[in-house]
Chains A and B, each alone.
Chain A
Amino acid sequence: METKKRIILGLALALGWTMAAQAQVKVGVTVSATGPAASLGIPEKNTVEMLPKEMAGQKIEYLVLDDASDTTTAVNNTRKFITEDKVDLVMGSSITPNALAMIDVVAEAKVPMISFAAGDKVISPVDEKRHWVFKTPQSDRMMTEAIVEHMVANGVKTVGFIGYSDAYGESWYQSFSEAAAAKGLKLVVNERYNRTDTSVTGQVLKIVGAKPDAVLIAGSGTPAALPQKTLKERGYPGKIYQTHGVVNPDFLRVCGRDCEGTFLPSSPVVVAPQLPDSHPAKAAGVEYFQLYESKYGKGSVTQFGSYVWDAGKLFAAALPEALTKAKPGTPEFRAALRDAIEHLKEVPAANGVYTMSPTDHLGLDHRARVMLRIESGQWKYIP
């Protein structure tokens, strides 16, 4: 009898002790480190490892799961974070369909979430469910405006468009055609191709035939190189614009000579060291740039990883206020953390300056985008 009591007491003590040790802040991160979005997810996963493990006197535990670019898996990961791990904050996922599907789960459990997916629908309009959701990447509209402004300033009157034949290309076409119409640019040709296509000769012939002053290629990563190479091959003389989706070293490697002189909008982080000192995103950008390069090699920085870094910045800025309201691991703390993120003002980060409000859960402005030009295989900042 005595032994049994002792064992029970010992177990109770041990249990209590582990409970105490677990009093820390838990963050569940789901990224698309494999599957079609792997080129986004891998730098994001790398960046999670660089986030601070201790903030405001609290140990931060990051639980990272791969959702294989799959919506169902992203939802399952989120459920696991919430029910099994009892996380205080969810981060992810890399792509818009996954992030959209996760909204229901976090809203139901009342857990704040910061998305790395760029789609506007993730955070707007801020309704009862999106109340809990924030995101760090610039919206496509900010980027299309940058492109259109640059085109108008450089005397472009007519534009051709070629994009993916899926939701990505369609949403780019929507936002670009609206922005172009607003500034009086004429969209003369609209073509589509697939990420896995081995030839875009037909589409390019049509574009070259329409003789636009400039062409916008709405692709992402290395598949965006194919239309550009074919345009050059067919002797297209005009300006070529790419989107911020191509900013990774592999795109430069695959596109090579054919990409010289291409214009594209981007997050300032990609060219952080080239920015003027007065730029508000320079300090945080350079910090991230150097940390990432020292860990993963020269020329390895992409904006995708910086979305995670900035999610970490928002979290770090909101954490002290949330800690004054409640203890981590409680529903009150999660609500306080959400409120604190929504109240953030002028937080300088690698992608720009974040000022959240009850109607704006992105909080970036024109300081969050720059125009780049590809020169001798490098991204060059154009002021």
Chain B
Amino acid sequence: MDSSIALILTQDGIVNGAVYVLLALALVLVFTVTRIIFIPQGEFVAFSALTLAMLENGRFPGTVWLVLAGGLAVCAMEAGALVARHDWRYRARVLGWNLVYPFALWALASLVDWRGAGQLARIAFTLALVVPLGPMMFRVFFQPIASAPVLVLLIVAVAVHVALVGLGLWMFGAEGYRTLPLWDENFLVGPLRIPGQAIWVVGASLALIVLLAQFFSRTIYGKALRATAVNRNGARLMGISPNLAGRLTLMLAAAIGAISGILVSPITTIYYDTGFLIGLKGFVAAIIGGLAAYPAAAAGALLVGLLESFSSFWASAYKEVIVFTLIIPVLFWRSLRTHHVEEEEE
């Protein structure tokens, strides 16, 4: 192994790591605000990449049906709640987002010739399709059991993940897709050949991290989420709705996942079930951050990316083993460092 190979491997590790950083941040965010260990995070990655690929190939994206079904389910659940409470104030908003909006997407998907539209228009439409799945998922699956123990939330999260993978096969088929790169240039720096798309991935990840930091420190919604993460009951007493916080969190998680999917799909082939493994590596990174610390999670994600890249050079057959074994010393170290806190049962 010479220095040029080490450089190429480092570059590869950083590009992969940049995506794991985003997913790790989303996992930490969802866990701190809602206590859900968010297994379906990877599905947003796969669904957005595949939706974009469908649009590029001029095929009707199955995600539209998912948004329609999700919207109808939310409407039905909200209707039940509204009738019980005789509270009709939010009917226009509920119907607007969960009935009118999905049908508008459906109309757009069938009427517009997406193959002829620009790449940016397709990306915008993909985001418009995938991001609402987050809040819908929270409303349908997690809001009714928001105060359940972490274990129950985890089990539901696993169930949602399994269901979504099955739906993914049905919507997109078994074969993988690659999307068109945003930037098809290559740059030669010494022995390195840096593809434009890799610059996009790293740049967009950094930009997203800065944006998230700004959102949490400067906006009222961001502060509300932070307050909920610190103390759920305290935040509630201050008038922060845990349901709103949950919906907002999952919307952010879906947006981060969808953007990650759009970023990686030109450099790798995405399958309906790719999301799980990418999400799992983000999860290893989030564990390194103790599911609570953002900078540690980000550093962990880069570590996972680099470790993966170098182990694929030295011992390719054991790559996954090496990456996932990383979690054992980390857990050991964490368990020595922090004293055990009994989980609060409500």
Interface residues of A (CB under 8 A from B): 34-36, 38-39, 42, 165, 191-194, 196-203, 205-206, 209, 221-223, 225-226, 233, 248, 250, 254
Q: How far is the CA of A222 from the CA of B178 in the complex (A)?
A: 10
| B268 contacts A165, C-beta separation under 8 Å | no
With an 8 A cutoff between CB atoms, is B228 at the interface?
A: no
Minimum Cβ distance to chain A for residue B77 (Å) = 29
A223 touches which of B176, B277, B309 (Cβ 8 Å):
B176
| B271 contacts A222, C-beta separation under 8 Å | yes
By a CB distance below 8 angstroms, the chain B residues around A199 are 12, 15-16, 267-268, 308-309, 312
| B309 contacts A198, C-beta separation under 8 Å | no
| A198 contacts B278, C-beta separation under 8 Å | yes
With an 8 A cutoff between CB atoms, is B183 at the interface?
A: no
With an 8 A cutoff between CB atoms, is B151 at the interface?
A: no
Q: How far is the CA of A197 from the CA of B268 in the complex (A)?
A: 8
* New A-B pairs, 6, CB < 8 Å, besides A165-B320, A202-B311: A34-B169, A165-B317, A200-B312, A222-B175, A254-B175, A254-B177
Most buried by B among A200, A201, A209, A233: A201
A202 touches which of B273, B278, B312 (Cβ 8 Å):
B312
Q: How far is the CA of A191 from the CA of B312 in the complex (A)?
A: 9
B313 touches which of A38, A202, A222 (Cβ 8 Å):
A202
| B175 contacts A250, C-beta separation under 8 Å | yes
Most buried by B among A38, A197, A223, A250: A197
| A191 contacts B175, C-beta separation under 8 Å | no
By a CB distance below 8 angstroms, the chain B residues around A191 are 316
Which B residues between 282 and 313 are near A, CB-CB below 8 angstroms?
308-313
With an 8 A cutoff between CB atoms, is B331 at the interface?
A: no
Q: Is the interface of B mostly helix, strand, loop or mixed?
A: helix
A250 touches which of B9, B176, B277 (Cβ 8 Å):
B176
By a CB distance below 8 angstroms, the chain B residues around A221 are 174-176
Contacts A222-B175, A226-B268, A254-B177 given: A201-B12 contact, CB under 8 Å? yes
Contacts A34-B169, A193-B316, A209-B5 given: A202-B271 contact, CB under 8 Å? no
Which B residues between 259 and 274 are near A, CB-CB below 8 angstroms?
264, 267-269, 271, 273-274
Q: How far is the CA of A250 from the CA of B273 in the complex (A)?
A: 16
Residue of A nearest to B174 (CB): A38
Residue of A nearest to B12 (CB): A201
By a CB distance below 8 angstroms, the chain A residues around B271 are 196, 222-223
| A196 contacts B274, C-beta separation under 8 Å | yes
| B9 contacts A201, C-beta separation under 8 Å | yes
By a CB distance below 8 angstroms, the chain A residues around B150 are none
Scoring B residues 1 to 30 as 1 if CB is less than 8 Å from chain A, else 0, what string do you get? 000010011001001100100000000000
By a CB distance below 8 angstroms, the chain B residues around A201 are 8-9, 12, 309, 312
8 contacts between A and B (CB under 8 A): A165-B317, A193-B312, A194-B277, A196-B277, A197-B268, A199-B16, A201-B309, A202-B319
Q: How far is the CA of A197 from the CA of B308 in the complex (A)?
A: 10
By a CB distance below 8 angstroms, the chain A residues around B193 are 233
Contacts A248-B175, A254-B176 given: A205-B8 contact, CB under 8 Å? yes
Contacts A194-B319, A198-B264, A201-B8 given: A206-B175 contact, CB under 8 Å? no
Minimum Cβ distance to chain B for residue A311 (Å) = 22
Which B residues between 317 and 336 are near A, CB-CB below 8 angstroms?
317, 319-320
| B319 contacts A226, C-beta separation under 8 Å | no
| A38 contacts B169, C-beta separation under 8 Å | yes
| B5 contacts A222, C-beta separation under 8 Å | no
Minimum Cβ distance to chain A for residue B39 (Å) = 16
| B166 contacts A34, C-beta separation under 8 Å | yes
By a CB distance below 8 angstroms, the chain A residues around B277 are 194, 196
A192 touches which of B8, B9, B317 (Cβ 8 Å):
B317
> Which 4 A-B residue pairs are closest in the complex by CB-CB distance?
A202-B312, A202-B313, A38-B174, A250-B175
By a CB distance below 8 angstroms, the chain B residues around A35 are 169
Q: How far is the CA of A100 from the CA of B247 in the complex (A)?
A: 47
By a CB distance below 8 angstroms, the chain B residues around A226 are 268-269
Contacts A34-B166, A192-B317, A198-B264 given: A39-B309 contact, CB under 8 Å? no
Q: How far is the CA of A193 from the CA of B320 in the complex (A)?
A: 9
Q: How far is the CA of A38 from the CA of B169 in the complex (A)?
A: 9
By a CB distance below 8 angstroms, the chain B residues around A39 are 174-175
| A202 contacts B9, C-beta separation under 8 Å | yes
By a CB distance below 8 angstroms, the chain A residues around B16 are 198-199
B269 touches which of A42, A165, A223, A233 (Cβ 8 Å):
A223
Q: How far is the CA of A225 from the CA of B269 in the complex (A)?
A: 8
